[in-house]
Amino acid sequence: MTSSVRKAISGAFAVFCTASVLLALVPLGFILFFVVRQGVQSINLAFFTHLPLPVGEAGGGMANAIVGTLLVSGLAAAMAVPIGVLSGIYMAEYAGSRFAASVRFAADTLNGVPSIVIGLFAYVVAVLPFKQFSAAAGGFALGVMMIPIIARTTEELLLLVPPTMREGALALGATRARAVFTVVVPAALPGIVTGVVLALARIAGETAPLLFTAFNNRFFSTSLRQPISTLTVQVFTYATGPYEDWHRQAWAGALVLVAMVLTCSLLARLATRRLERMHAR
Amino acid sequence: MRRSSSRSELAFRLGIGAFGFLIVAIVCTIGVVLAVQSMASIRKFGLNFWLTRTWDPVAGQFGALPFIWGTLYSSLIALLIATPIALGIAVFISELCPPSLRQPFVFLTELLAAIPSIVYGLWGIFVLVPAVRTVERALPAAVRATPLFSGPPLGLGLLSAALVLAVMVVPFISSVSREVLKSVPAAQREAAYALGATRFEAIRAALFYARTGIVGAVMLGFGRALGETMAVTMVIGNNPRISLSLFAPQYTMAAVIANEFTEAADELYLSALVEIGLVLFIITLLVNSLSRLLIWSMNRTGRVITAPEPVHASA
């Protein structure tokens, strides 16, 4: 092959790679554009303050679903943060041990389990025995999804803490537990909090695990034992329903979800940049 | 003194180890619980469940072959579309892009993974499906006569599902490929350049060196596509019929569980759906484990050759 042909191939390859980035950003742009355009047209104060109206009547809002999403995600976090953080500490502290490797493998496996399968599991464990769909079951399902995310983030961030800090604490006579909880974990804490926020944003956007755990509820409820409405399930119901006004509200719900995810991602990115700068210093 | 400190050390280790054990226990429990709940269906239908294609809950006939077909077919088409694009992105960001733009591009491509699946579904129903329908209608009759594009152009169907899935798995494949490319020793590329290689030839050498990890990245995307539920349910048309046509409405394992589980009135119907979930669990478990094994072995060989990095400079 002559060198000019080889150069041409090389150039074409660079063009292909650049084009693929643009090709991936086109759907991103399209989705954000449509969600914002349709969402802004559809959203109003009633969306945040009113309950859904009976089938066929236009108007109403998703106040109950917004509260439901907050409640269910809060339950999930209450369950997943302690388990996730402590098992993350275990994986980081005993990184070389065989059991830590099994925990890591289990966490990655759990992370890859399809969310609908987590929903089935939560149904059998938390709905069947009580013969009742419930907010608690929904929180359990999302909590199971959240544990591996938090565990792996915590582990990674703890491994970034300079070993000299731990060694210093141990040299001063601190026990391992004391060194971990008073020196190593506080050093990684801002990062861990960021990780938790990102995990929350991710699970608050989940639908499949809630379909037959939290189910849905047309009325306002904060009871853990009753079915509860969530933004995502409500958007699903409205999007697949036949009414124009339901579609409008589905777009408004999508806008709220996307705004939440974007805000969390941006905040997390800003926080990590600040952390990186602190580490660089 | 020594004894008490080693005792507290043991208590600490066991204490936090218990939480680690909890994660292992959850994964095992998921498998056991699903297996127990699908016993009724497994006993009644045995292997026939997976080999027959009639899904008629009213008549008590449960054949899950169409769901396996729809799941594999839509995921494979999605990978066919997503893999070249994701690799292009990985190469662009790690090799071609000016370093100052690297972070913004990483952030943007990873936003694709952050958008909730239900939003993809909503966009799919109201924007993508009508667009796909228009394209399908515009295809010349000669193309429409082939089995790959036969049937009425509904928009709702396998093609729409594969397109949505492709967009959704691109960020996973590209971010892992990027990490894998990073672990290719610089000496590989420098050697290629020293021999007079063009940029493409040097990158090709790096990609070849990283092939194990890249296959792992693609498998990871495959695992994601297999289990994706909401977006697929909303655009695939939900029809349990095996067809080669990209236009045909089909059905996936995850979608049938999402749609029919709350309607399943009798024990056997529920059990059949749980069995589909059990098999989905096992398949994704195998695919993900294999993918992780490949990525891990790549990282390890990469590390053996490169100089060790200082621990806190990475990430």
Is A99–B311 a contact, with Cβ atoms under 8 angstroms apart?
no
Lowest mean pLDDT across A88-92, A140-144, A269-273, B292-296: A269-273
pTM of this prediction exceeds 0.90: yes
First to last CA, chain B: 40
Output the pLDDT for position B143.
86
> Closest partner residue to B19 among A87, A108, A211, by Cβ?
A87
> Closest partner residue to B33 among A106, A116, A121, by Cβ?
A121
Question: Does residue B315 carry a pLDDT above 70?
Answer: no
Nearest CA in chain B to A148: B23
Count of domains observed in chain A? 2
**ipTM of the complex model:** 0.93
| A31 vs B contacts (CB less than 8 Å) | 115, 119-120, 123
> Closest partner residue to B33 among A125, A148, A239, by Cβ?
A125
Measure B239 CA to nearest chain A CA, in Å: 16
Count of domains observed in chain B? 1
What tens digit of pLDDT does each residue of B117-129 get? 999 999 999 999 9
Q: CATH number for the domain including A65?
A: 1.10.3720.10
What tens digit of pLDDT does each residue of A193-225 get? 989 999 999 999 999 999 999 999 888 888 888
Q: How many whole angstroms separate alpha carbon A7 and alpha carbon B197?
A: 9
Phi and psi angles of residue B237, each rounded to the nearest 5 degrees, phi first: 95, -15
Q: Considering only residues 185 to 244 of chain B, which have any Cβ-Cβ distance to chain A shorter than 8 Å? A: 198-201, 203, 220, 223-224, 226-230, 234
Is A117–B89 a contact, with Cβ atoms under 8 angstroms apart?
no
Is A279–B37 a contact, with Cβ atoms under 8 angstroms apart?
no
Residues A194 and A266 in one domain: yes
Residues A153 and A59 in one domain: yes
Nearest CA in chain B to A211: B258
Residues A187 and A90 in one domain: yes
Residues A189 and A93 in one domain: yes
Q: How far is CA B82 from CA B212, B235, B298, in A?
A: 18, 18, 22
Neighbours of B209 (CB within 10 A): 22
Is A10–B258 a contact, with Cβ atoms under 8 angstroms apart?
no
Q: What radius of gyration do chain A's Cα atoms show?
A: 23
Question: Does residue B38 carry a pLDDT above 90?
Answer: yes
Output the pLDDT for position B301.
54
First to last CA, chain A: 50
Kindly state whether B137 is in contact with chain A, defined as any CB-CB distance less than 8 angstroms: no
Domain membership of residue B267 (yes or no) is: no
Is B280–A117 a contact, with Cβ atoms under 8 angstroms apart?
yes
Residue ranges making up the domain that contains A198: 47-280
A274: tokens are: 């600040």
Domain membership of residue B33 (yes or no) is: no
Q: CATH number for the domain including B116?
A: 1.10.3720.10
B68: tokens are: 């396996």
Is B12–A103 a contact, with Cβ atoms under 8 angstroms apart?
no
Measure A222 CA to nearest chain B CA, in Å: 22
Per-residue burial over B226-246, b if 16 or more Cβ lie within 10 Å, else e, is bbbbbbbbbbbbbbbeebebb
Is A14–B257 a contact, with Cβ atoms under 8 angstroms apart?
no
Is B23–A87 a contact, with Cβ atoms under 8 angstroms apart?
yes
Residue ranges making up the domain that contains B162: 69-262
Kindly state whether B94 is in contact with chain A, defined as any CB-CB distance less than 8 angstroms: no
Kindly state whether B296 is in contact with chain A, defined as any CB-CB distance less than 8 angstroms: no
Lowest mean pLDDT across B57-61, B126-130, B156-160: B57-61
Lowest mean pLDDT across A116-120, A138-142, A191-195: A191-195
